[in-house]
Structure 1
């Protein structure tokens, strides 16, 4: 029974995510940032100038948890927050020049990490893995 459970897709995805997070944490700690901080900056890299609410929804964080995280990022000089011009209740989150400079290092770490993830896979196996993971994600998004 234990061996069967450990071979289920849910268990294997969870274990891989846990290990991936641990390795990312180790590698990103050299930059003085946590995984959560890295994810915020990565999201802002692709979509700068979002509201805190939009960012919380995209990352799956509560508004309170994201607020505390943004406080730390702001103190460290990686982001700044501004009032939204059309909604006085909303705050926009923007990355700073300091964040831009660390993004190159973050990208290098992410590229190396992804290279390590697929080590030993053929190009066909890699393409199949990506295709299947996207299908699993799509299935979960429909839930």
Structure 2
């Protein structure tokens, strides 16, 4: 049980630092946390609906709605009536949105490189392996909680 507390504290510190550092970096390209993922989804799934993004990211439609309004206001996405569902809207990424997505990808890639700077190839492989196990455990718990 003592290790649980240490793990919890380390994960909390890492989450806080990572979120803070990513937010600072994303401000350079005038994006908020979570928006690069939304832009990437729209880029890969042209004419998608907000509900599609919410399901994919595991967040509420309201959360996506706030980001969509911000992204539209910045001219990064276009919102138009969905051709098959009069109640829904379709989302497409603009040229400016694509540029901003590429810029954010470069910023986040540089961040990941710095985050794992002193790791050997073996340590990275081990970390990836262990992280996959953790993700699978969390998915299992999530499914159990949904029942």
Q: TM-score, normalised to structure 1's length?
A: 0.86
Q: 2:108 aligns with which of 103, 107, 110?
A: 110
The answer to whether the Cα contact below 8 Å between 2:82 and 2:90 also exists between their aligned partners in 1 is yes
Please tell me the root mean square deviation across aligned C-alpha atoms, in Å.
Answer: 2.0
Unaligned runs of 5+ in 1: none
Give the structure 1 partner of residue 88 of structure 2. 90
Cα distance, 1:6 vs structure 2: 4.4
Cα distance, 1:127 vs structure 2: 1.1
- Paired residue secondary structure (1:89): coil
Of the structure 1 ranges 55-64 and 67-76, higher mean CA displacement relative to structure 2 is found in 55-64
Change (3 A) 1:127 1:38: same
Within 1, Cα distance between the matches of 2:124 and 2:45?
Answer: 27
Give the structure 2 partner of residue 7 of structure 1. 6
4+ residue runs of structure 1 moved beyond 4 angstroms? 3-6
Q: 1:67-111 deviations in whole A, cap 9, x for unaligned?
A: 122111101101112222222222222211111112221121111
Note if 1:142 corresponds to 2:140.
Answer: yes
Note if 1:26 corresponds to 2:24.
Answer: yes
Aligned residues: 141
Q: 1:51-78 deviations in whole A, cap 9, x for unaligned?
A: 1011112223221222122111101101
Within 2, Cα distance between the matches of 1:99 and 1:122?
Answer: 35
Within 2, Cα distance between the matches of 1:71 and 1:56?
Answer: 14
Within 1, Cα distance between the matches of 2:59 and 2:97?
Answer: 21
Cα distance, 1:27 vs structure 2: 0.6
Q: 1:10-59 deviations in whole A, cap 9, x for unaligned?
A: 44333322211110100111111211322322333443432101111222
